[in-house]
Amino acid sequence: MIGTPQTKKISADFFTQGYRISGIFLMKKRLLADIVYDLTTDYIELHDAYVSPIMEPAQISAHYNATLIAKPHLDFFLTTSLKDGLRRDQHYGRSLQRYPVFITVPFFEITGEILSAMRSFSGRPYLAKAGPFVTVLNVTARSTFNPDVVYEGAVGQVNREKIGCFGKKVD
């Protein structure tokens, strides 16, 4: 599906301000991650969205068939498929190395792997570099206040502005 200009429905879990929003993103010409990284827009439009409080993540408290997610307030989002969660340019670059990381955002601690072209990985560029989100692979997001609640995804895009702690293993 990558690069083909036709509509595809992508399911993703968006986490913002204590809520889990399971939504359907209608992918037309641009990938979900491309929309998220686009600095000229402030929102992501979802076709169908089901809202759950993160303390009761299986309970659906609201449903709306047209929903806007405010990007500056989005903590992170997860997709189960690798290709659905990456930017177009991230589909290339097979020589990239993976480094394990630990990240905290409001209500969650996130573990996973980060892609880097550098031989010796330092987290600094990831926090300072331009670009609103950090891409994490093989993500596990554990609820801070309810550690039994765990979300997993092939890809997570984490809002750089929301990161409180960025941990990495020293080489």
Partner 1 sequence: MTKILIIDDNEDMLKMMQMIIGKKTNYRVVACKDGSEGLEAAFESQPEIAIVDVMMPGISGYEVVQQLRKTPRTADMGIIILTARGQAIDRTAALEAGADDHMSKPVKMDALIERIGSLLEEKEEEKQRKKVTAAAATDRTRQKQAQAAPKEERAGYLTLALFSLRGGVGVTTLAVNLASVLQEVGSTLLLDLSPNSGHCALNLGLRPEKHWGNYLENPNTPFESLLLSHASGLRLLAAPLVPLEYGWFSNDDIKKLLTQLKPTCRFLVLDMPPVLNPTAKYLLTQANFVLLVSGDDPSSLQTTMMTRTAISDCASRTLLIRNITTPGPHPSAEAVKRALHTKTLIDIPYEKAQTQAQRAGTPLALSQPQASMVAPLKRTIQLLLARKKKAT
Which residues are near partner 1 by CB under 8 A?
A: 9, 11, 13, 22, 24, 48, 50, 57-60, 63, 65, 80-81, 149-152
Would you tell me how many other CB atoms lie within 10 Å of the CB of residue 87? 20
Question: Between residues 80 and 104, which has the closer beta carbon with respect to partner 1?
Answer: 80
Of 122 and 146, the one with the shorter C-beta distance to partner 1 is 146
* Minimum distance from residue 68 beta carbon to partner 1 (Å): 18
Contact predicate 137/82, CB 8 Å: yes
Of 22 and 104, nearer to partner 1 (C-beta) is 22
DSSP string, 109-168: EEEEEEEES-SS--SHHHHHSSSSEEEEEEEEEEESS-TT-EEEEEEEEEEGGG-SEEEE
In the complex, what is the shortest distance from the CB of residue 11 to partner 1, in angstroms, rounded to a whole number? Answer: 4
Query: What CA–CA distance (Å, rounded) separates 123 from 11?
Result: 30
Comparing CA positions, the residue from 50, 31, 6 lying closest to residue 135 is 31
Nearer to partner 1, 60 or 118 (CB): 60
Quote the least distance from Cβ 9 to partner 1, whole Å: 8
In angstroms, what is the minimal distance from the CB of 59 to partner 1? 8
